[in-house]
Chains A and B, each alone.
Chain A
Amino acid sequence: MNKSHDEIKALVRDTLVRAGSTFRDDKKDAYRRAIAAETNENAKWVLETLLENAEAAEKNQSPLCDDTGIPHMLLEVGRNAVVSGDTLDAIYEGVREGLRKLPGRPMGIMGSDAQRIDQSGGLDPDSAGVEPAPILIRRCADDVLRLHILMFGGGPAIRARTYRVFHKHSVQTVLDEICAWAAEAVALLGCTPCTLAIGVGRSHFEASALMLQAQADGRYGVQSEIEAEITRRVNETDIGPLGLHGKTSVLATFMKVGPQRASGVRIVCLRPACCFEPRIATVEIN
């Protein structure tokens, strides 16, 4: 039975609050494993404090981080599911309500194109003034309408990179480039340990879309050989939690490789998702 406009709105609102305040169970487990393995005293203290913060945020349903992030959404559409204009309206209204309830940081910039660039138009005092990024849609095997909400912070956006890699017909060439980018980005991020989200596609748009899907699909307990290699190599840099050295600079790598073109070039999108990301929650809305 299809849900009403108001029912969808309420589900989206509560899912956004969950995304901004709650670690998934596999992420909590990843932190516990990292704490158990860490021998650097300051690094262990940071990891324990981050997990304690997550427990407090979940209990209070309050923000994990004061940079509550920009909502990014992935909508999965099953065979008989219907997405109407009204469905999208309900989703957007739910996002606005969720941002007010969390509460999101009021960081929407007002004004003309030029004013929004140089921030001279002022800040919208309403948390709901933070508009979500365009919704990404994909088919899914289950006969559902499933919405993933991810909250993207500013620090990872500063350090992320989408660029071409000449692969020279060697996957190792691409991995070497990814690891070099990641080591530089993770060192500057500050909010480590991070989760590396990677998309490999044929265009900048496709690579970015795959990077977002990698965060929706990734699980900390499930790592491919390539993902495990990237994580291991970046952890060898000894950057550590909060940059204080230690074994855990990266908790895991979530990578999605899309279709590729006959060419010497691959487009790679790398986002060093911070210690709280992916801030994600999922709900079925049909």
Chain B
Amino acid sequence: MIIDLQTPITEEAAASLRAGDKVSISGYIFCGRDAVLPKVIQLIHEGKADFLGLKGGVIFHTAVSPAGVGPTSSNKLEIESSIAPLSEYGVKLHLGKGQLHPETVAALAKYNAIYAVIPPVTALLGDKTLESELIAFPELGMEALYRLKVDRYPAVIAAAHGRSVYE
């Protein structure tokens, strides 16, 4: 069974997901990776991030370029270290690939946030990406913060409520 997830994701929807669930994500999602995520967290620390509309949102660990989109490794230092503070702020789903450390899985659970992995299927995701808009930090080029409108991105829940498929 595939669970349909519409953004923004509610607390109840996040609470209902379990590691191993297959999901289909639709709506607006954000895209950011190594370069921009530390800058977003800095905005949060300065109390200047609300204009981004991240609460209840999805952050897809990807660049956005003419080549398309596809997950980069979420266990890269600057990406994985962003997951706890972004979850505390209100981001509900982190979308990427690769195994996370146990402390990150615990932080997700603390804030009722979820980690999902998405196959790196750039050719297929191209057909499911309806809109793309640069939101912040344009100087970072393809690594800037983007917002996409997507239709049924496929993913598997990899960590939820303290449980992980990597156990």
- Residues in A lying within 8 Å of B, measured CB to CB: 21, 42, 45-46, 49-50, 52-54, 56-57, 60, 62-68, 102-107, 119, 122-123, 125, 127, 154-155, 158, 187-191, 242-245, 274-276
Cβ-based interface call for B117 (8 A): yes
Shortest Cβ gap from B98 to chain A (Å):
3
Contact call A242/B119, Cβ cutoff below 8 A? yes
B124 touches A190 (CB 8 A): no
- Residue pairs across A and B with Cβ atoms less than 8 A apart, 26 shown, are A42-B20, A42-B22, A45-B22, A45-B156, A49-B119, A49-B121, A54-B123, A56-B123, A57-B123, A60-B123, A62-B68, A62-B122, A62-B126, A63-B67, A66-B62, A66-B67, A66-B122, A67-B67, A106-B65, A123-B140, A187-B99, A188-B75, A190-B97, A191-B120, A242-B119, A244-B156
Given contacts A57-B122, A119-B35, A188-B99, contact A158 B68 (CB under 8 A): no
Is B103 close to A, CB under 8 A? Answer: no
A119-B143 Cα distance, complex, nearest whole Å:
12
Known: A49-B119, A243-B117. A106 touches B71 (CB 8 A): no
Apart from A49-B154, A53-B122, A54-B123, list 19 A-B contacts with CB within 8 A.
A49-B119, A53-B121, A57-B122, A65-B70, A66-B63, A66-B70, A68-B67, A104-B67, A105-B67, A106-B65, A123-B141, A127-B66, A190-B71, A190-B97, A242-B97, A242-B117, A242-B119, A243-B98, A244-B20
Check B142–A42 contact: CB distance below 8 A: no
Cα distance, A106 to B156, chains bound together (Å): 29
B137 within 8 A of A: no
Residues of B near A158 (CB, < 8 A) are 73, 76
Q: Are B158 and A243 in contact (CB under 8 A)?
A: yes
With A65-B70, A102-B67 as known contacts, state yes or no: A245 contacts B123, CB within 8 Å.
no
Is residue B139 within 8 Å, beta carbon to beta carbon, of the partner chain? yes
- Chain A residues positioned under 8 Å from B71 (CB to CB): 190
Q: Per-residue CB proximity of B38-80 to A under 8 Å, as 1/0?
A: 0000000000000000000000001101111111111110000
Q: B75 contacts A276, CB within 8 Å?
A: no
Q: Is A155's CB under 8 angstroms from B22's CB?
A: no
User: B136 within 8 Å of A by Cβ?
Assistant: no
A165–B119 Cα distance when bound, in Å, is 34
Question: Across the interface, do A63 and B142 meet the contact criterion of CB distance under 8 Å?
Answer: no
Q: Is the CB of B65 within 8 A of A66?
A: yes
The CA of A275 and the CA of B139, in the complex, are separated in Å by 32
CA distance A65 to B75 in the complex (A): 19
Q: Say yes or no: B65 contacts A243, CB within 8 Å.
A: no
Nearest B-chain residue to A21, judged by Cβ: B123
List of B residues within 8 angstroms of A127 by Cβ: 66-67
Closest B residue to A154 by CB, please name it.
Answer: B72
Beta-carbon nearest neighbor of A59 in chain B: B123
| Chain A residues whose C-beta falls within 8 Å of the C-beta of B119 in the assembled complex | 46, 49-50, 53, 242
Chain B residue numbers with a CB within 8 Å of A119 are 35
B165, CB-defined interface residue at 8 Å = yes
Nearest to A99 among chain B residues (CB) is B67
By the criterion CB–CB under 8 Å, are B141 and A244 in contact?
A: no
Q: How far is the CB of B101 from chain A (nearest CB, A)?
A: 11
Top 8 A-B residue pairs of the complex, sorted by shortest distance between their CB atoms = A190-B98, A190-B97, A53-B121, A66-B70, A57-B123, A56-B123, A105-B67, A123-B141
Chain B nearest Cβ from A133, distance in angstroms: 19
Q: For residue A188, which residues in chain B have a CB less than 8 angstroms away from its CB?
A: 73, 75, 98-99
Q: Is the CB of B65 within 8 A of A242?
A: no
Which residues from chain A contact B99 at a C-beta distance below 8 Å? 187-188, 190, 243
Residues of the A chain whose Cβ atoms lie less than 8 Å from the Cβ of B123: 21, 53-54, 56-57, 60, 62-64
CB contact between A64 and one of B20, B66, B97, B122 (< 8 Å): that residue: B122
With A53-B119, A119-B35 in contact, do A42 and B70 touch (Cβ < 8 Å)? Answer: no
Contacts of B124 in A (CB 8 A): 49, 52-53, 56
Contact of B98 among A21, A53, A189 (CB under 8 A): A189
